[in-house]
Every structure is written in structure tokens, then in C-alpha cells.
Amino acid sequence: MPRLILFNKPYGVLCQFTDDSPGSKRSTLADFVDVRSVYPAGRLDLDSEGLLLLTDDGRLQARIADPRFKMPKTYLVQVEGDAQEASLDQLRKGVRLKDGLTRPAVVERIDDPALWPRDPPVRFRKSVPDCWLKLTIREGRNRQVRRMTAAVGHPTLRLVRWRIGDWTIDDLPPGQWREAPIAHASG
């Protein structure tokens, strides 16, 4: 029976089971997930947090990670500045990046979410406001959300992937994982 694991990846954890960098002491998935023969279905940067799906099923891994399937991925994004509707509309229409125009995002401003504290904390500056966005995309370019928010004048300060398709980290603390039913492989 194929396995699917939902993992709430903490900040600073490498999205692989080993770190091949000489002399590196970075945390990896092996520090948190003690399940054999599962692999990440997609990636999260070292400085991003939240939902990472791991599976031992190659077809499911492709279905989740391959942009052709357009599986929605929802992020909670703390950005620098006071994002107004004009900036949000740019994200909704698609943003021109160096590697082309992004697909339109679903985005809204939200109240500060009830998240765990980040270690280290995001740098706070009294003179520079920030706000939170809930942003959903259906593609997965390298560092895409960060590049999109920067392109509209609001660099990302904190990025938490909250949902992929029907799977979410709601009630799953950072560094913890749980098995999930595979029947939710819809997009």
C-alpha cells in the first residue's frame, strides 16, 4: 500500500534526507521523519516553512509535483509593506518574471495568522510596515512566490505553505508528521 506523509517543515530544514555539503550541520528530513523509502513530492526552500508531502509512490509524487497537473498550493506570506489592491491585482493577472509570465494567482490580504513562532524570528522594523497574504498558485517555479511578491514591490519576509490540493498542515506542529489518505489526490 502506498504511503503519503504530511510533514510541517520548520525553517532551516533541508528538503532532502542527506546533506552532501562538506562540513555542513544543517537539519535534514532524516532529523524528523523516520520512515524508509519516502521522498519529497516537490520542494520547499531552506528558508520556507510548512507543508511538505512525502510518498513512496512515484506516480503520486509526479501528480503532486508536476506543474502539468496544476495542483493548487496555498501559502501564507508575510510581505514587506502595506500591500494594496493594485499590487494584489498584479498577482491575480500574472506577474512577468525573468522566466516568463506566471499563471494568475488567487490572493487576498488576511489578518495576522495564528502561526507558531519562527526561529529565528523575522526581523521587525518599526519604520517598515508588513502585512499577510493568502496566495494560491497552480505552478511551481523555483522560489516563485518570493519572486512574485518582490516583482510587485512587496518582498517576502516569511513564507509558509499551508495547503497542497486537499492536504493541509492545520493542527500539525512544526517538525511533526502524520500519515494521510491517498484518496485526496485531486487538484
List per-residue pLDDT tens for the chain, 187 residues long.
Answer: 889 999 999 999 999 999 988 888 899 999 999 998 999 998 899 999 999 999 999 888 888 888 777 889 999 999 999 999 999 999 999 999 999 999 999 999 999 999 999 988 888 778 889 999 999 999 888 899 999 999 999 999 999 999 999 999 999 999 999 999 876 454 4
Q: Is 100 exposed, middle or buried (0-12, 13-18, 19+ CB in 10 A)?
A: exposed
What CATH number labels 72-164?
3.30.70.1560
Selected catalytic residue, list 45, 57, 89, 112: 45
Domain boundaries, the chain: 1-68+166-187, 72-164
pLDDT at 187: 47
Helix segments in 38-99, DSSP class H: 58-65, 85-93
Q: What pTM value is reported for the model?
A: 0.93
Apex CA 175: angle with CA 169 and CA 178, to 5°?
Answer: 55
CATH 1.10.1760.20 for the 1-68+166-187 domain, yes or no: no
The answer to whether 45 is a known catalytic residue is: yes
Burial letters 26-37, b for 16+ CB under 10 A, else e: ebebeebbeeee
